[in-house]
């Protein structure tokens, strides 16, 4: 497996954990949904800066869901 492919798989797993669509992550991170898709499928090798921007958006979304709980069905 190439670095681009493993990076893309990890990014997709994080997005799925966050419960977000490609378009939602792209909007949160202010990146192109097409490029995000290409990264997830291993077709592109993104820069560290780009990965940082997308990772921050995903981390914020995951933290928000964990803090609120309601989006994850944890509150009554």
What pLDDT, in 10s, does the model give residues 11-30? Answer: 999 999 889 999 999 999 99
Q: What is the mean pLDDT of residues 63-73?
A: 63
HEC letters along 11-66: HHHHHHHHCCCHHHHHHHHCCCHHHHHHHHCCCCCCCHHHHHHHHHHHHHHHHHHH
Q: Which domains occur in the chain, in start order?
A: 3-66 (1.10.260.40)
pLDDT at 46: 94
Please determine, for residue 75, whether its predicted confidence score (pLDDT) is greater than 50.
no
* DSSP code for 7: H
């Amino acid at each position: 497996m190439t670095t681009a492919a493993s990076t893309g798989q990890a990014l997709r797993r994080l997005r799925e954990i966050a419960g977000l669509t490609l378009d939602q992550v792209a909007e949160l991170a202010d990146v192109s949904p097409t490029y995000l898709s290409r990264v997830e499928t291993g077709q592109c090798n993104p820069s560290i800066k780009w990965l940082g921007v997308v990772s921050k958006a995903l981390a914020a979304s995951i933290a928000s869901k964990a803090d609120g709980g309601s989006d994850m069905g944890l509150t009554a």
